[in-house]
Structure 1
Amino acid sequence: MTETMTRSGMRRRSLLMVTAASALAWAIGPERACARGAWSRLEGARAAVGDATPSLDGLALDVPLLSENGASVPVLIRPETLAPDDFIETLDLFAPSNPYPLVATLRLTALTGRGEIATRIRLNESQTVIAVARLASGAVLVAERDVRITASGCLMVIDADYSESLLETRVRVPKIFTPGKPGEVLTIISHPQETGLRKDASGRVLPKRLVERLDATLDGHRVLTVEFHRSVAANPYLRFFLTPPASGTLALRWTEDTGTTAEKSVAILVS
């Protein structure tokens, strides 16, 4: 009887411990309820951190906890607190369990304002997505987020027909920017982002064909540069913020690995 009561008590204690852990995870929020330190096990992330001592606070990485479509997973990265004169200079995004872990590298400027970035990525399997941000002040911020994937995104068949829309580019900006305040810029380009990993029905590997770079300038001044890799989703999409000092022209240039480019310009009105 004593043994039965002891086992019963152990089960109750175990249940309480699990319940308490779940409550703690809920209280601190899903973006904090993941195992920290994944960046230290990835060579690319360690290289991005360098000799700095990174902070695991201050950078928000918003990714769905569960995604049924690993071929297009939305990602939002934003600094939570920044000094008025500080901004993100370099941002590296990693998917460690993908065949090629480095997803994208973004080089930003003070013109991007808050440094908030959104895009869509491919995830091969469930894993911990990692973002490493280096600030103009020299500080390094790291964010990690656990994601569960029900269907692998790296080998998924692409049904879209790009025969007429390939490299077609769209961009949307506010009608009027307020002086000194960031405005949202959204841009997308029609492209399959063929990874070089998929096979056709006959078993032949489809050749790699990627949009590898996006350059954004405002009247010749660099706003941002993005290097895309194989884990960026088809139809590369980017949302960022622009803080123009005066009216001008925002020019976007997308570059494919073939050397082909697509350009789009839009007027920026500050009033």
Structure 2
Amino acid sequence: MRPSRPTPTFAARRLPLKLAIAALGFGLIGPALAGPWQQLDAAQQLLAGEEPHTKGLVLELPHVSEDGSAVPLTVSFDGQLAEGDRIERIDLFATANPYPEIATFLLTPLSGKPEVSTRVRLNETQQVIAIATSQAGERFATAREVRVTVSGCLLRSGDDAPEPLANPRVSVGSGQPAEVRTLISHPMETGLREAENGETLPRHIIERFTVSLDGDIAFEAELHQAVSANPYLRFYLTPESDAEALFEWHDDSGNSARHSTDLGAS
């Protein structure tokens, strides 16, 4: 007769599960935490199967927004890069917007530092994702959840809104790097809203914004429907010498606006 084996206690039965969880946390079984960028096709296409670093990129948004049509956002990088490397691209996504792409910021050595602020439209409570790419191909990702009270994609603009691409405004601070703030009138019509007669209003947005210093591109932004009406951008420039700064906004109707100013190197 074979001796009976003791029945394992409940704690003993749980031990393999605990070991599996520990292995997961130490990266022995897949990624420790699945970021929302792993569930968003647009982000996965950008990452091309690479697993990004999850430290170094900072995304600032309010935890709760009463108005989803103009949510303030700042993205910056304070991580470590190899000597000579720099952040050259930052992409923003909204996981529950009809179109997830928000904006892409292209940075150059003249961009000063990798920090950009804007205002965005959010359709509902969701995750906002930022992915940064360095010149050497290093990827960094982070995300923040924002609770939205009123959808920002379908709100109506006022009837007395100024003409598109009117009133370009630029403010350049002193010091190095110089803080730059820009604002321009534009409805940034998403193509999702209905007019009073029930017809869908056509898409009408600023698609591209560039800053050049004496003809050399210093900063560039590709904008999508999720950028708020009257686009606001804050970023930095570090000119190597005194230069003429040219700011240009181009919308999807083929129209554009320009503003120029002198920018000192110190």
TM-score (ref. length: structure 2): 0.84
Tell me, yes or no, if the aligned pair for 2:211 and 2:217 is still in contact at 8 Å. Answer: yes
Question: Match of 1:215?
Answer: 210
Matches within 5 A, 1:30-41: 37-41=35-39
Greater alpha carbon shift after TM alignment, 194-203 vs 82-91: 82-91
Rounded to whole Å, the distance in 1 between the matches of 2:142 and 2:265 is: 34
**Deviating more after overlay: 229-238 vs 203-212:** 203-212
Please identify, of 81-90 and 132-141, the stretch whose mean Cα deviation from structure 2 is larger.
81-90
How many Å separate the matches in 1 of 2:193 and 2:164?
A: 21
* Partner residue, 1:159: 158
Equivalent residue, structure 1, for 2:74: 76
1:109-128 Cα distance to aligned partner (Å, 9 max, x none):
11112210000000000000
Match of 1:62 among 46, 51, 60: 60
Give 1:51 deviation, angstroms: 3.9
Could you list the per-position Cα deviations for residues 195-240 of structure 1 after superposition, in whole angstroms to 9, with x for gaps in the alignment?
A: 1110122211111111111011111111122111111000011100
AA partner of residue 138 (structure 2): A
Instruction: Give the helix-richer structure, 1 or 2.
Output: 1
CA deviation map 1:137-193 (0-9, x unaligned) = 32100010010000000001111523457432000002x44xxx3110000111111
SS at match of 2:166: coil
Alignment of 1:104-143 (within 5 A): 104-143=103-142
Match of 2:241 among 224, 229, 246: 246
**Distance in 2 separating the partners of 1:131 and 1:185:** 21
In 2, Cα distance between equivalents of 1:142 and 1:182: 25
Q: Would you say 1:47 and 2:45 are equivalent positions? A: yes
SS in 2 for 1:246: coil
Match in the other structure for 1:225: 220
Identity between Structure 1 and Structure 2 (%):
42
Give unmatched runs, 5+ long, in structure 1: 1-34
Residues of 2 paired with 1:106 and 1:165: CA distance? 22
Q: Residues 128 and 199 of structure 1: is their aligned pair in 2 closer, same or farther, counting only changes over 3 Å?
A: same
Alignment size in residue pairs: 233
Instruction: Provide the secondary structure at the position in 2 that maps to 1:134.
Output: strand
Q: CA RMSD in A?
A: 1.5
Q: Say if 2:167 is the partner of 1:168.
A: yes
- Shift in alpha-carbon separation, 1:166–1:109, aligned structure 2, 3 A: closer
Q: Sort the Cα spacing of 1:86 and 1:113 in 2 relative to 1 into closer, same or farther, 3 A.
A: farther
> Highest Rg: 1 or 2?
2
Summarize the Cα distance change of 1:238–1:70 in structure 2 as closer, same or farther, 3 Å threshold.
same
Please list the CA deviations of residues 67-89 of structure 1 after superposition, one character each: whole Å capped at 9, or x if unmatched.
00000001100001244633221
Which residue matches 2:180? 185
- Aligned counterpart, 1:206: 201
Structure 1 residue 258 displacement after superposition: 0.6
> What is the Cα deviation at residue 270 of structure 1?
2.2
Give me the whole-angstrom Cα distance separating, in 1, the residues matched to 2:232 and 2:217.
19
The alpha-carbon distance between structure 1 residues 130 and 162, as it changes in their structure 2 partners (threshold 3 A), is same
Kept after mapping to 2: 8 A contact 1:86/1:136? yes
Cα distance in 1, alignment partners of residues 264 and 88 from structure 2: 25
Using the TM superposition, name which of 44-53 and 109-118 deviates more: 44-53
TM-score, length of structure 1 as denominator length? 0.82
Structure 2 partner of 1:262? 257
